[in-house]
Amino acid sequence: MKNVMLPAVAMLALAFVLFIGLPMGTTANLQAEEAKASKESSQSVEGVDQAAVKRARQKVGELDNIFKQTIVLITDKYVHGDDDFAAGSAAVLLFKNISDSGETKIRLIDATGDPYEPENVAKDSFEKSGIKKLKKGAQQHEQVVVKDDSSYLRVMTPVPVVMEKCVMCHAHYADVAEGAPIGAISYTFPIE
């Protein structure tokens, strides 16, 4: 079994630093896709205050950092066996409660094709194309959407296998290439 262990710091760096090790062809594809995505999103962002988009992006980044640090900390300190309450389960429950109680919607989803819970998968076209993009090495997938006169920033960030313990319950993570995402966090955040 191949253990993929990265310290939390490296994981966070992965979450925020652009992945530069891609082969040229893939990078070019990615850039083309990003250009297309930003063109698509710029069509839907007309009239949306760019400074507010930037603020929303910053807040999502802060939340993402807190959540990922928390998942690693809980797994490290509290999860000892496969019948312990998993950080993944805690995250799914926390995100559900946050989503039910306000305008911010958050989901933890699978990127391997083999989720623990069938519910935790990419659902709409934004999430489906996001998973494809993150698996190619992108560190972020983003779109501004306008719904019922309100605008929202949608963001997806990758979740890599950061600890050996993840494999205890998700055995197939052992087959995923080091640093590749096994999941993603999907945010819908109000732009105000």
Spatial separation of the C-alpha atoms in residues 9 and 46, rounded to whole Å: 37
What does the block give as tokens for 170?
A: 């998700």
Strand order across the beta sheet in which 181-190 lies:
105-110, 181-190, 150-160, 141-147
The site map against ligand HEC for 3-42 (x = CB under 6 A) is ----------------------------------------
Residue 42 CA to residue 156 CA, distance in Å, equals 18
Rounded CA-CA distance 169/82 in Å is 6
Q: Give the range of 29-37, 61-69, 115-123, 135-143 binding ligand HEC by CB under 6 A.
A: 115-123
Stretch that binds ligand HEC, among 38-46, 62-70, 135-143, 154-162 (CB under 6 A): 154-162
Positive or negative: CA dihedral 189, 96, 130, 128: negative
Piece of 45-53, 138-146, 147-155, 165-173 that binds ligand HEC (CB under 6 A): 165-173
Q: Based on CB atoms, which residue is closest to ligand HEC, 48 or 161? A: 161
- Which residues, 6+ apart, have CB-to-CB distance to 139 below 8 Å? 14, 15, 16, 17, 18, 19, 157, 158
Would you say 34 or 164 has its CB closer to ligand HEC?
A: 164
Return the percent helix, strand and coil in the chain, to nearest 5.
Answer: 50, 20, 30
Residues numbered 54-113 forming contacts with ligand HEC, rule: CB under 6 A: 71-72, 75, 79, 82, 84, 86-89, 92, 108-110
Q: By CB under 6 A, is residue 49 in contact with ligand HEC?
A: no
Q: How far is the CB of 87 from ligand HEC (least distance, A)?
A: 6
| Contact positions vs ligand HEC (CB under 6 A) | 71-72, 75, 79, 82, 84, 86-89, 92, 108-110, 115-117, 120, 159, 161-163, 165-166, 168-170, 182-183
